[in-house]
Amino acid sequence: MGFDDKLVRKKLEVLLKDQVLVERYLRIYGPKLDMSNVAKLKAFQAAATNGGPEGDNGEPTYHIKLKCPICNQADIICHEMKAKCMTLAFDRFLVPRYKPVKPFTALNYSLVAVTVCPSCLFASPDKKDFLTFSVQAGSENKSQLSPYVLDELRKRVEARKSIIAGVSDFAEYFKVPRSQAASINAYKLAIHRAQVEATLETPLAWYKAGMYSLKIALLTRDSGKDDEPMLKEAADALAKSFRASELKVKELEYQLVYTLATLYLRLGEQAQCQAFMGVLDKWHGEQDKESKIDPRVTTVAVDKWIDKVKDMWTDRDDPDLWKH
């Protein structure tokens, strides 16, 4: 190590007051002193120790700042769930409910999961749809959405505003703690984004729209209101996902078809339910036939979902079946 390198290390030890941070700085930025990089590292460390991913202040979420890929609004707060702060219990449609783990505070994460730009109302529960900053690389990460999707979304700001007509202060409306109505509208904005993605044949677009609809249905149901309209929307979107073969992994396809069969059973459309049960049975037959040629192939994965939906079919007249 040369004299200049040693001098930089000494200065970093004074500025950062933490040998681990000094080593991290040198690993990321090299032996060149830059106060902006020092500030970035300090900010990252502060987030980690005061409510960040490794923090333990009782809050089940930590905050990161994002930038909108549509209007470049900066410092949008995203609420990320800390590891091991909650347990999940899934409803009939595989939508999670969140239960707190001590010592963390109770929080229905679905209420805050969607990040909304307070300027143009771009919304997503996936931070990768936004612009993020990489401390390690010292640079901004682009949105995972294609430039074509982003261009189309820029044209539809007024359409998004019409979803929450009557609201003028978007930042105040979507701030946390967030009302149930605001949380539902956040998911509706996310559905709008996913539908735009679908017009440009973006992978998984209809699947995302359907799952967002199921989130709204759960929030609606838990408030004692009728969830059927949103269940119908979910069934429509997920059926489009199925027809478009959006899911390329067999296990996920099995789950999707199970969810569709369950939705149609709940909606009283028994013929549609049986049709999707038939899809699972067909896949079972294909897997069984293939297993006779290749012993590594089994029907275990598909059988799990067949058994689950057949149990519900058997109990379809039970008045308590949908009390969940």
37-63 tens-digit pLDDT? 878 777 665 554 444 444 446 888 888
The domain of 43 spans 1-49
Average pLDDT over the chain, rounded to an integer: 89
Residue 304 lies in a domain: yes
Residue 219 lies in a domain: no
119/47: higher pLDDT:
119
Residue 289 lies in a domain: yes
What is d(CA 59, CA 82) in angstroms, rounded to the nearest whole number?
9
Give me the pLDDT at residue 137, please: 64
134/233: higher pLDDT:
233
Residue 69 lies in a domain: no
Residue 95 lies in a domain: no
Give me the pLDDT at residue 38, please: 79
Average pLDDT over residues 238-263: 96
16/18: higher pLDDT:
16
Residue 39 lies in a domain: yes
Between the CA of residue 135 and those of 42, 130, 203, what are the distances in Å? 10, 16, 29
54/287: higher pLDDT:
287
102/314: higher pLDDT:
314
Number of domains composing the chain: 2
What is d(CA 4, CA 32) in angstroms, rounded to the nearest whole number?
9
Residue 83 lies in a domain: no
Give me the pLDDT at residue 245, please: 95
Give me the pLDDT at residue 210, please: 98
Give me the pLDDT at residue 199, please: 96
183/53: higher pLDDT:
183
Nearest to 256 by CA among 267, 269, 243: 243
- As separate numbers, helices (DSSP H) first and strands (DSSP E) second, the chain gives 12, 8
Average pLDDT over residues 302-317: 96
Cβ atoms of 129 and 135 within 8 Å: the answer is no
Average pLDDT over residues 228-232: 98
Cβ atoms of 54 and 34 within 8 Å: the answer is no
Residue 119 has pLDDT above 80, yes or no: yes
Give me the pLDDT at residue 47, please: 52
In percent, the amount of the chain with pLDDT more than 70 equals: 91
Nearest-10 Cα torsion for 96, 99, 100, 105? 90
Residue 3 lies in a domain: yes
Give me the pLDDT at residue 82, please: 85
Dihedral sign (CA 264, 269, 275, 278): positive
Average pLDDT over residues 188-209: 97
Give me the pLDDT at residue 48, please: 46
Give me the pLDDT at residue 135, please: 66
